[in-house]
Structure 1
Amino acid sequence: MQHGVKRISLSEQARKEKIQRDKLKIANYRALCKDLLDKKDKDVRDIATLQATTDLLLKNPEFYTIWNYRRDIIVALVDAEKIKKKDTLEDDLKLIVALLKRYPKCYWIWNHRIWCLDQLQQTREANWNVELAIVSKFLDLDSRNYHCWQYRRFVINNMEEDTLLESSESSNLGQKEARALLRINIEEYKFTTSKINKNISNFSAWHNRTKLIPKIYDLFGELDTTNDHADVRHVFARPQTILQHELELVKTGMFMDSDDTSIWLYLQWLLTNPFFVDDLRKVSPTCYLDVLNAQLAIVEELNELEREDHPKGWDHRWCLRCILLIKSLIREETSEIGALDDMSRKMLQSLTEIDPLRKCRYLDQLEGTGTLSSLAF
C-alpha cells in the first residue's frame, strides 16, 4: 500500500504482457508527439491537427507546448470561420473538467480554462456562476488545492468586474453596485470560514481572508444603510472588532493544531498589518499594546501546555517564534528598541536546538538587535 493505492502483484506472464502493452502505448505516444511537433514547426492549423492535440493532451496534459499550439490553432480556425468560437470554447471547457477530475493540480489545464473564459468574456458570454459552482465542487473534494483557490479568485474578480458600473465619470460606487460587490465578498468570507472550520490547516483560505477583510470593510463604508448583512455587520463595524473576531478564530486554531504554519502566519498578519494597527492606535494610545500583551499571554499559556505534553519538556517552536515577534512589537511600540533581553536570547538559543533546520537564522538573530525585521516569521 502506497499513498492509499493497493499494490497488485503480477505473475511473470502478466508482467511480460503488461510490458508489451506499455511498449505499444509509448510508441504511439512518441509518434503522436513527433507528428504534432512537426506540424507545429510547419505552422499547420487545421481541424485534424486540433483533434490530434486533444488526443495527445488526454494522454499527457502536462505538455504545455501542445496547449499553446492548441490555442494558436483555435484562434486561426475561428478567424478563418472554420469553427464557431463559442461552441469550440465550451467544448474545451467540458474537456478541461474531465481532465481536472484526473489531474486537479496540473497548471496547464487551469491555465487553458482561464484562457477559454477570457475569450468568452470578450463578448460577455462567460458564465461565472457555473464556474463558481465547478470550483466549489473541486474544493469540496480537496479544500487545500491552491490551484482551485487561485482559479476561484479569478472567477470572483470577473464577477466583480461584471458588477461594476461601466462609467468612468466617478470613482465612487453606486449603492446598487456596492451591495452586489458586498454580497459576493461576504459569501467568499463565509466560504473561507466553512473551509477553515472543516480543516484548520488551509493556507489558501487564510490568505483569502487577508484580501477579503479590508475590501468588505470598505464596501460597508460605501453603503448609506447599516441593515445589510446583519449577521456579520457587527463584526465589520471597525477594524478593531474585526481583529477581535479573527483573533478568537486563530486562538481556537492554535489550541487545536499548534504545529500548523498557516495559523501562525495569519496571526502575524493580524498583529502587524496597518489596517488593524492604525485603527487600534486611534482607539487609545495603549489599545494596540493591550492587544499585544493579551496575545502574548495566550501564546505563553499554549507554550506551557505544549512543554508539559512534550516527552523531553521542550518548548514549542512556533510558540517561541511568536513570543519573540510579539515582544519585538511591544518594544517598538514602547520605543524600547535595543539589545535583546536575556529571556529573548534564551528562547533564540532554545530554537537553535528544537528547530535545527533554521539554526543559522536564529544565530544571526542572536547577533542582531531584535528588531521586527529580524524576528518576524
Structure 2
Amino acid sequence: MQHNVKRVNISAELKKLKLEKDQLKIKRYQELTAKLFDLRDNNTYTQDAFNETTTLLLMNPEFYTVWNYRREILSNIYKPVGANVDDYAQVLNDELQLVLQQLKKFPKCYWIWNHRRWCLFELVALHRVNWMYEFAVVSKLLELDQRNFHGWQYRRFIVENIEKESVAKDPSHEKVILLKIKLDEFDYTTTKVQSDFSNFSAWHNRGNLIPKIYKLVHEIEVPAEFKERVKLFDNPYDILIHELDMIKTGIYMSPEDTSIWSYYNWLLTDDFFTKAYSKEEYLKVLHNQLEVISEVNELEKEDNGQDNIWCLKSIIFTKTLINKQQRGEVLTDEIKSYLKILIKIDPLRKGKYEDQLRGVVGIV
C-alpha cells in the first residue's frame, strides 16, 4: 500500500496476454505505416488510403507525415475544380469534428492544431469558414485546460481572423471594432489570471494587449459605451500601478510562482512603461515594490526558516534597477550577499549566480 493505493499484482498469465496484445498492436502499426508510406510514394490518392490515415492517426496523432499525406489526399480527390464546393466544405467540417475529438484527448499535440488551421484556411478559400464557431471551440478547450499555451496561441489566431472579418464588413469603424475585441480579450485574461495566478499564457496575452489597447484609445474618439472600460488606459503609469496591484495578491499567495514574477519583470522593464514617466516616478514604484517583496520574503522566512528563492531573486532584480537609475554601483556588496545566499538555497542554479557574482552575466 503506497499513498493509499492498493498495489495490484498482475499474474504471469495476464502479463503474457498483455504482451501478446501489445505485440499485435505494434505489428498492425508497423504494417499500416509501411503501407501508407508506399501509397504516398506512388502518389495514391483514394478513399481507402484516406481511411487508413484515419486509423493510423487515431493510433498516433503525432505522426506528422501521415497528416501531410492526409492533406494531399483531401486536396487531390475532394477539392473542387469548379464552383461545386458543398461536398468539399462538408468533408472539411467533418475533419474539424475529427480534430476536435483528438484535441480533447491530445490538447498539446502540435500536428492536430496545425491540421485544424489548414482546414480553416481551406474553408476560407471556399468562403465557408465560421470564425465565431472556432472561437467558441477554443474557449471551451481553454475551460478544460486553461493553461494550455497551444490553446492560447490558437485563440490569438482565431481572434486575429475575427478582427479581419469584422473590419472587412465595416471598414469605416475599423479602430472601434478592434478596440472592442481587444477589450473583450483583456477582460478574458483578467478572469483567467484571477482564477489561477500561475496562468503564464494569460499573463503573456495580457502583456501583448495592453500597448495595443492604449494605442487605439489614444487614436480615436472612444464611444460612450466604452468610456468606463478604457479609464485604465489613460496613461502607462496608471496601467502599471493597476497591474502591480493586481499581481500583489499572487505574490503573497504564491511567491514561488514563476508566471507572476515573469510578468512583474516585464512591467518594470518594458519601454512602454519605463519611457512614459519621470525617473522620480519610476524610482518610487521600484522602492514600493521592494517593500512589498521584502515583506513577503520575511513572512516566508518566518514560515520556512529561509529566504524564498523567487523573492530574493526579485529583490536583487529590483535593487539592481534602482542602482541603475541612480547610476551608482550596480553589483553592490548587498546584492553580492544575496547572490551568495541563493547559491546555498538554490544549488541547481549555482553556476548562474556565480557568473552574476563575477559580473559575467547581468542581473537585469
- Tell me the TM-score normalised to structure 2 length: 0.92
Answer yes or no: is 1:355 the counterpart of 2:352: no
Q: Distance in 2 between matches of 1:12 and 1:215?
A: 63
Identity %: 45
Could you tell me how far apart the structure 1 residues matched to 2:4 and 2:180 are?
40
Matched, 1:152 2:144: no
Distance change (3 Å), C-alpha of 1:356 and 1:96: same
Pairing of 1:102-181 with structure 2 (within 5 A): 102-165=105-168, 174=172, 176-181=173-178
Give the partner amino acid of 1:98: Q
Distance in 1 of aligned mates of 2:237 and 2:5: 49
Residue 92 in 1 paired to residue 95 in 2?
yes
Larger mean CA deviation between 12-21 and 122-131 belongs to: 12-21
* 1:291 and 2:282 aligned: no
The residue type paired with residue 133 of structure 1 is A
The superposition leaves residues 176-229 of structure 1 with CA deviations (integer Å, 9 ceiling, x where unpaired) of 222221121111111111111111111101110111111111121232135233
Is 2:319 the counterpart of 1:304?
A: no
In the alignment, structure 1 residue 207 sits paired with structure 2 residue 201: no
Distance (whole Å) between structure 2 residues aligned to residue 298 and residue 138 of structure 1: 36
Q: 1:156 and 1:356 mapped to 2: Cα distance?
A: 43
TM score, norm. by length of structure 1: 0.89
Contact 1:192 / 1:206 at 8 angstroms: preserved in 2?
yes
Aligned partner (choices 320, 327, 338) of residue 328 of structure 1: 320
CA contact (8 A) 1:226 1:233 kept: no
Runs of 5+ consecutive residues of structure 2 not aligned to the other structure: none
Number of the residue aligned with 1:75: 75
Cα distance in 1 between the residues matched to 2:186 and 2:33: 45
Task: Tell me if the contact between 1:132 and 1:152 (Cα under 8 Å) persists in the aligned partners.
Answer: yes
Are positions 1:54 and 2:54 aligned together?
yes
Give the number of aligned pairs.
361
Following the alignment from structure 2 to structure 1, what is the Cα–Cα distance between the partners of residues 197 and 9? 39
The residue type paired with residue 146 of structure 2 is S
Q: Is the 8 A contact 1:348 1:362 kept in 2?
A: yes
Counterpart position of 1:184: 181
Deviates more, 1:14-23 or 1:355-364: 14-23
Shift of 1:166: 8.5
Query: Which residue does 2:241 correspond to in 1?
Result: 244
Change (3 A) 1:6 1:246: farther
Q: CA deviation at 1:6?
A: 8.8
Q: State the alpha-carbon separation in 1 of the partners of residues 219 and 122 from structure 2.
A: 32
Structure 1: state its 5+ residue gaps: 168-172
Query: 1:68 deviation in Å?
Result: 0.7
Q: Does 1:375 align with 2:363?
A: yes
